[in-house]
Amino acid sequence: MVTGMIATLREQLMEVLPEFGRHLGYHGKAINSHSTGWVSRTTGETSGPDADWDKHETSRVDASDKPSKKIKSWFGYGVHLIADTQYEIPVAMHLTPASHAEQIELRVMLKETFAETPELAERCRDCSADRGLDSAETKALLWDVYDIRPLIDTRELWREEKQHPDDDPSKPITRPRFPERVDTIVHTEKGSIHVRRVRSGCPRVA
């Protein structure tokens, strides 16, 4: 029902807003289920039959150069959303079991949405996502198939900046979204957006 409402809404908005759909962005969110995730011995199913398990592993190096890993696991679902980043209105949504990979789901959503609304693909100029969605296949789909500029950072570039001798691990690395401006909106490697005054030659913000 919700996905159908979003599809109807995007088509109506495209009729009245010439710039709607020009700038798209993707984000995924893990949703925990109230179910424990344990399988019942009698039914052979969990109390949330449409949900499943997933885990997310992150690696980091602390100030003493000691590597560490953090593993988060949960039972539930994943919400996958493509939205117009200018108007902050969704244009497509999928609700899946937690284990569905975001990179694959993004490509499925792009193909499905642009097949349903070809005018949106023609209107769209760029599609953004955080560096976790860095994928040659996704970028090729956007650029080669739909002529849409992929605004997805390459993970390796962030690693190189962290090796810089002037790097301060206590401060997040940021990059301007609009490099031609002095007072600009910047984003971190995790995709969060901040408004900062960035000085030339300072990859991290105080």
- pLDDT score, position 33: 83
Tens digit of each residue's pLDDT (9 = 90 or more) over 123-177: 999 999 987 888 889 999 999 999 999 998 776 555 556 666 666 666 766 766 6
Those residues whose C-beta lies under 8 Å from the C-beta of residue 59, and which sit 6 or more positions away, are 67, 68, 69
Those residues whose C-beta lies under 8 Å from the C-beta of residue 19, and which sit 6 or more positions away, are 86
Does the pTM surpass 0.75? The reply is: no
Measured in degrees and rounded to the nearest 5, phi and psi for residue 37 equal 90, 0
In the chain the beta strands, taken as DSSP E runs, fall at: 23-32, 52-61, 67-84, 89-97, 126-129, 149-152, 174-176, 183-188, 193-197
The answer to whether the CB of 187 falls within 8 A of the CB of 198 is no
The answer to whether the CB of 187 falls within 8 A of the CB of 175 is yes
